[in-house]
């Protein structure tokens, strides 16, 4: 079973963002799979780098979308995004300095954060955008 399964309840009603969230879930699942095999070599570092790089790319696109639409919670989203990326990197550094348990903490944090952030915070920009214009005006980044 996948570690995080996509479900329509995660939809923020912005197709481009849903696609990016789906991709994030796939990358998180891949990282989880590698951790499960206890293969702590290059593959793990590559999977972590893929996650952190895509997280940053996604946050950039999401913040740009929020800015374009004048979403009032942009600043708090920015702070939350930054703290999340920092925490992921900190956990991975702890793991690299010899604390294997840090990987489980990373996975737990990643899962809970992604789910809560999408359901509680990201859905709000979707609702906000929907009140502002017709769906065809919604920017749909890759
Ligand atoms: Fe997001």
Q: How confident is the model at residue 1 (pLDDT cuts 50, 70, 90)?
A: low
104: CATH: 1.20.120.50
Residue range(s) defining the domain that contains residue 51: 13-132
Does residue 120 lie in a domain region? yes
Selected residue with higher pLDDT from 2 and 137:
2
Neighbours of ion ligand 1 (CB under 5 A): 62, 122
Does residue 127 lie in a domain region? yes
Which of 52-61, 100-109, 128-137 shows the lowest mean pLDDT across its residues?
128-137
Note the pTM of the prediction, 2 decimals: 0.89
Does residue 45 lie in a domain region? yes
> Could you tell me the CA-to-CA distances from 75 to 45, 79, 109 in Å, in that order?
31, 6, 22
Does residue 5 lie in a domain region? no
- Please, what is the angle between helix 74-96 and helix 101-116, to 10°? 160
Does residue 137 lie in a domain region? no
Overall domain count for the chain: 1
Q: Using CA of residue 97, residue 87, residue 59, residue 21, what is the dihedral sign? A: positive
Does residue 7 lie in a domain region? no
Does residue 1 lie in a domain region? no
Distance from the CA of 118 to the center of ligand 1, in angstroms?
6
Statement: residue 141 has pLDDT above 80: no
């Amino acid at each position: 079973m996948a570690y995080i399964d996509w479900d329509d309840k995660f939809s923020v009603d912005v197709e481009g963002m849903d696609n990016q969230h789906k991709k994030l879930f796939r990358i998180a699942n891949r990282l989880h799979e590698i951790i499960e095999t206890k293969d702590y070599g290059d593959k793990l570092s590559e999977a972590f780098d893929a996650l952190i790089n895509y997280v940053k790319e996604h946050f950039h696109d999401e913040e740009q979308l929020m800015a374009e639409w004048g979403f009032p919670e942009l600043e708090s989203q920015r702070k939350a995004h930054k703290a999340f990326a920092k925490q992921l990197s900190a956990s991975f550094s702890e793991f690299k300095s010899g604390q294997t348990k840090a990987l489980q903490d990373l996975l737990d944090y990643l899962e809970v954060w992604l789910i809560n952030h999408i359901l509680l915070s990201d859905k709000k920009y979707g609702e906000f955008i929907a009140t502002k214009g017709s769906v065809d005006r919604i920017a749909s980044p890759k």
